[in-house]
Amino acid sequence: MHVVVTGGGGFLGSHLCEALLARGDSVTCLDDFSTGSPDNIAHLYSRERFAFRLTDVSAGIDMAGPVDAVDAVVHLASPASPADYYRLPLETLAVGSRGTEHALELAQRHGARFVLASTSEVYGDPHVHPQPEDYLGNVNPVGPRSVYDEAKRYAEALSCAYARTHGANVGIIRIFNTYGPRLRPHDGRVVSSFIRQALAGEPLTLYGSGDQTRSFCYVDDLVRGIVAMIDSRELGPINLGNPDERSIAQLAGLVLEITGSDSGTEFLPLPADDPVRRCPVIIRATERLGWKPEISLEDGVQRTVAWFRSQTRVTPPREAPSAERANDSTSAVQGRPHPLETG
């Protein structure tokens, strides 16, 4: 297959690009590095079946030049951590709306499978627990988190409209908390924040009481689910996540135990609209995709800590490329780094 991955330079996207190449697919990765990093895909540039285009998908997707027929488009492009979508609210709404439509149009032109990476955030602060796909959610449409929540809800509505109106081959996955190597240490997600703080000997920051829960899925498991969705014709939505529900305080204790850190903890006020509980029902994923997570939280956190320790330095977030460069359709590369990555 030839698979186009938007947001392929991000944490999750880079792992998906790897998995697709490993099974023999060709991959075109689109990213503007507003939240992703060239480092995530630098090891892929020499691969014969890998191509990169510096692209802001909200502005359009130009696949001009020699491009094989596209068999699948996986739309991952979006800020995904609260720190990022608070910093980039309009960009988050744009990539969920215009970016989704551009990716759908690309898939439709090629008669390709379209997989939308939606999120458990569409459930908001849920009144139903755990969350099945037919739960309609409890989202504050004007709160600070709404730029991400509503962007994904709109993206789901748009994808379903394309399926109903144009017969598009659409699949929607709702991704729950995912972690693993290549998480940015300063991206504000709880696993990366706790590990960075523990390794630096800083207090682990817990918001609220620490009793709120999440369900953490290791990235390798999550990618297997995305690949299964690419290969299916399921519309969804289908939850992808690990139903092993843990409190944030339990996660903090696990990180301290695995790192051997003597860091303490500190408690800060709970942010607005922060969900109290979050846990997926994965019956659809198991029955329709033959998927379920296999890696325990303990094993996954050990692997993630080992990766963080292997990094020789912790860098601040990268500055996004200029708009002129991000929209430059001549920036496709095949088998070599784009100049942006060599500096």
Residues with catalytic roles? 148
Q: How many CB atoms lie within 10 A of CB 160?
A: 17
Nearest to 25 by CA among 43, 2, 41: 2
DSSP H helical ranges for 123-200: 146-166, 190-200
Containing 35, the helix (H) or strand (E) segment is none
Q: Identity (one letter) of the amino acid at 82?
A: P
- CA distances in angstroms from 168 to 45, 94, 110, 114, 253, listed in the order given: 31, 22, 10, 8, 46
130 prior amide bond cis, ω within 30:
yes
In angstroms, the CA 264 to CA 251 distance is 13
Question: Where in the chain does DSSP place strands (E)?
Answer: 2-6, 26-31, 50-54, 72-75, 113-119, 170-175, 178-179, 204-207, 213-215, 217-218, 238-240, 245-247, 265-268, 332-334
DSSP letter at 326 equals H
**The residue count for the chain:** 343
Angle made by CA atoms 154, 158, 159, in degrees to the nearest 5: 115
Q: Which residues pair with 124 in a beta bridge?
A: 138
Tokens of 332: 């496709």
Q: Are 185 and 314 in contact (CB under 8 A)?
A: yes
CA 283 to chain centre: 22
Q: Are 279 and 129 in contact (CB under 8 A)?
A: yes
